[in-house]
Structure 1
Amino acid sequence: MTHEELIPVIRRLSIEAGTKIMEIYNSDDFEIKVKSDDSPVTAADEAADAIISAGLRAAFPDMMLVTEEQADSHSEKGDTFLIVDPLDGTKEFIHRRGDFTVNIALVEKGVPTRGVVYAPAKGRMFYTKANGQAVEETGDLSPETIGPIRPITVATSDNNALMVVASKSHRDQATDDYINKYKVQDMKSAGSSLKFCLVATGEADLYPRVGRTMEWDTAAGHAVLQGAGGKVVRFDDHSPLTYGKDGYANPFFIAYAPGVELKSA
């Protein structure tokens, strides 16, 4: 599998999954179930997962695949693999707030190198080109026809007036305490992996996450941010956030534009 082969496939699958998600989102009602970790799951999560995993396995049968909705895949071991969150921001979906995304990423030697983040309710799509550069595609977002794309890049940050983005559903005192270490011009709230993309486009400088996430929540956004010149590091020691960890659980982390002078935890 080459990067040139990968990108059209994950772009197309994210749009196909997003279309199915929006069918369910716009329906009168949908079933909400609870998984073993007490997190919610809907028919949209499951339908999107079926579309993406079938498409990836057909295109790249020899690649290890980890996906949130298939618990058997969570015991897979490796440092190079495809990783999927078919619907990140299920709570945003349930409450019809629109801040949910489809996420597909390639991790190579523990680093997310390529990925796509698609927010179907917002009509925003971000992905890495084959060369790793991050772009935003606009227009109709058709599975078969690529619309206008623009390169995206992180902001040139002013440490006396930072733009900070934080979780809409998981904001807590620990997050606020850390943000208060900075000189903040304005705050934004966003759901799902959109927060990475807001840093990638320069709409925010800093996204600290003091809370539980899994690698499938972050890998695609991490790849997009990296492709826009940004970084993601561990909260505790500011070392790079790596992937392929036992159980695919992340430590707390900070996503940021490199001009931000990071504060200690």
Structure 2
Amino acid sequence: MRKDLINLAQRAAKAAGAEILRYYHEGNFEVSTKEDNSPLTNADIAANDAIYFYLSQSGIDICSEEALLDPAKMSENDTFWLVDPLDGTKDFLARNGEFSVCIALIEKARPVFGLIHIPISSETFYTSTLFQSFNDRGMIMPQTGSNAIISGNSSHSPSVDKMCDYFESERLRCGSAIKFCRVAQGIAAVYPRFCGSSLWDIAAGDAIVTAAGGGMFSILTNEPLKYTGEHLRNDYFIAFSKDALAHKDKFLAYARSLLDK
């Protein structure tokens, strides 16, 4: 990953974060509903515009949740940016601070770079040229020993409840793609998702978790996820910390058994 592209993505994310915080603190945002019934605010649009201003300078195509790319330009042979300008809009509206900016670079249907910026804390998690994960304080050195399972603030998945019981795991909750950061840090051991997700929701997190020594796999296939325009929504998955990766087969097998019930 070229350093100039990393720098460009960092500038884009921080500019987007500044726009989001402006609306967040002023409280003068407008809310509409998209076709999938998810909320859209003027903060989403302002963040999207800020990201496009910077990333367009790379000359690489951009696919954003708020401005989709032609799926024909998102094949396994294409390189493109995959962006969620404001991940966790519901958390933004709930004013709990747990929202983020997500930017990934996709090559050959996999994220080769990922960045998650948390505006409220000014933290930025990203992958480097050496495929290691960093935050603003340096390289991420994952904690060890956690068996916690993390899920979203609004998640009421019975499957996650059953997984916590089966593996005798503590349940953590966190909004938006910040969950991936907590897995990369080793604060949580696994992040299972038993509902559909859009490509832009998870690509940056996939890159960060993987570069921190963990991994992310489809519950259906046990394989890493693919990011192409063929399907804009991805399989159910589990993200594993570095410490938990050795147990991935056991977790995936149990998760798959829950889908059959």
- How large is the RMSD of aligned CA atoms in angstroms? 1.7
CA distance in 2, matches of 1:16, 1:65: 17
Q: CA deviation at 1:74?
A: 5.3
How many Å separate the matches in 2 of 1:92 and 1:74?
29
Q: Do 2:218 and 2:224's aligned partners in 1 also have CA atoms closer than 8 Å?
A: yes
1:259 aligns with 2:258: no
The one-letter code of the counterpart of 1:16 is A
Greater CA drift, 13-22 or 165-174? 165-174
Contact 1:206 1:260 in 2 (8 A): no
User: Which residue, out of 200, 203, 225, partners 1:216?
Assistant: 200
Contact 1:127 1:134 (8 Å CA) reproduced: yes
- Name the CA shift for 1:102/1:227 in 2 (closer, same or farther; >3 Å): same
Aligned match of 1:195: 179
Contact in 1 for aligned 2:71/2:228 (Cα 8 Å): no
Q: Which runs of 5+ in 1 are unaligned?
A: 138-148
Alignment of 1:40-79 (within 5 A): 40-58=39-57, 60-61=58-59, 63-73=60-70, 76-79=73-76
* TM-score, with structure 2 as normaliser: 0.89
Shift of 1:67: 0.5
Per-residue deviation, 1:6: 0.8
- The TM-score with structure 1 as length reference comes to 0.87
Distance in structure 1 (CA, Å) of the matches to 2:223 and 2:142:
20
| Deviations 1:69-101 (CA, angstroms, capped at 9, x unpaired) | 014545643233110000000000011011100
Q: Kindly state the Cα deviation for residue 155 of structure 1 after the two structures are TM-superposed.
A: 4.1
Query: What are the equivalent positions in structure 2 for 1:1-265 lying under 5 Å apart?
Result: 3-58=2-57, 60-61=58-59, 63-73=60-70, 76-79=73-76, 80-137=79-136, 149-157=137-145, 162-184=147-169, 186-257=170-241, 258-261=245-248, 262-263=250-251, 264=253, 265=256
Is the helix fraction higher in 1 or 2?
Answer: 2
> Mean Cα displacement is larger for which, 100-109 or 239-248?
239-248
3-state DSSP of counterpart to 2:16: helix
Mean alpha-carbon deviation: is it higher for 128-137 or for 65-74?
Answer: 65-74
